[in-house]
Amino acid sequence: MSTKQTIVDQKVAELAQLTPQLSRAMANTGKELNSNAIIGDRNWALNTLAILIGMGDMNDQLQVYVKAATDAGATDNEIQDVLNLASIYAGNPRAVNAARSIAPYLKRESDRLRPNVTEELINVGDHETMVWDNHAAGFPIVLIHCLALDHRTWRDVYPEVAKTGARVIAYDIRGHGWARNAPVTKDLDQLADDLHHLLVKLDIKQADIYGASYGGAIAESFAIDYPADTRSLALIATGLKGFPVLAQRADAAEKDGMEAQVAESLIRWFTPETIARNPWEVRYSRECVRHISVTNWAAAWRAMAVGDATAAARTVKVPVLALGGKQDASAVPPIMKQMAAAYPNSKLVTLDPGTHMMPMEQPQAVAEQLIKFYQAVNQNNFRKD
pTM of the model: 0.89
Residue 9 CB burial class (10 angstroms; 0-12, 13-18, ≥19):
exposed
Question: Taking the mean position of all CA atoms in its chain, how far away is CA 37?
Answer: 29
Distances (CA, A) of 366 to 29, 76, 214, 242, 291: 48, 22, 17, 24, 27
Whether 190 and 222 have beta carbons less than 8 Å apart is answered as no
Residue ranges of the chain assigned to CATH 1.20.1290.10: 3-113
At the topology level, CATH places domain 118-378 in Rossmann fold (3.40.50)
Would you state the pLDDT for residue 383? 85
Task: Give the strand pairing for 166-171 and 138-144.
Answer: parallel
What one-letter code names the amino acid at 298?
A
List per-residue pLDDT tens for the chain, 385 residues long: 555 456 556 765 775 677 766 556 555 544 444 556 677 889 988 998 899 888 886 667 888 888 889 988 999 999 999 989 888 888 888 888 888 888 888 889 888 889 899 999 999 999 999 999 999 999 999 999 999 999 999 999 999 999 999 999 999 999 999 999 999 999 999 999 999 999 999 999 999 999 999 999 999 999 999 999 999 999 999 999 998 999 999 999 999 999 999 999 999 999 999 999 999 999 999 999 999 999 999 999 999 999 999 999 999 999 999 999 999 999 999 999 999 999 999 999 999 999 999 999 999 999 999 999 999 999 999 988 7
Would you state the pLDDT for residue 230? 98
CATH architecture, domain 3-113: Up-down Bundle (1.20)
Q: What's the CA gap between 60 and 170, in Å, rounded?
A: 35
End-to-end CA, the chain:
90
Question: Taking the mean position of all CA atoms in its chain, how far away is CA 113?
Answer: 14
Residue ranges of the chain assigned to CATH 3.40.50.1820: 118-378
